[in-house]
Amino acid sequence: MRLEGRRLTMRNVATIEGEVVKSDDPVSFLGDVDPDTGTITNRKNNLYGVTIKNKVFAFPIGRGSTVGSYVMYRLFKNGCIPKAILNQRSETIVAVGAVISNIPLMDQVDLERLRTGQRVRIEGNVLEVQE
């Protein structure tokens, strides 16, 4: 399956491949993600206890504090960033966090067609889903 989106950040990265972990709910990096491990800590999130480290992290939109960008940077400093982030709509906090943390970010992606465990390949504005 082929999906298209809008690449916002991909610094010097031509292609990204990885396994999807998909949150059904908006994510706040301040409070929902442990910056030391990359594990989802929000008990109400369907990914509770799952790590985003080295995964393609899909979630509809970010929510919450501007400190979330710095939490993303802390994930970077701790070696716990996702391979990429996919959003339906990226907002400023996640976009800034992705830029300062060197995380590839794509939005305008139809997340309804993705599920946790799928393998994907991101190249430019195209997302190839291996089924």
DSSP character at residue 101: H
Contact present, 8 and 105 (Cβ < 8 Å): yes
Residue type for position 26: P
**What is the C-alpha separation between 14 and 111, in angstroms, rounded?**
22
Pairing of strands 84-87, 105-107: parallel
CB burial readout 2-32, b (16+ within 10 A) else e = ebebebbbbeeeeebebebbbbeebbbbbeb
Is 65 part of the annotated catalytic residue set? yes
Of 65, 69, 90, 101, which one is the catalytic site residue?
Answer: 65
Catalytic residues: 65
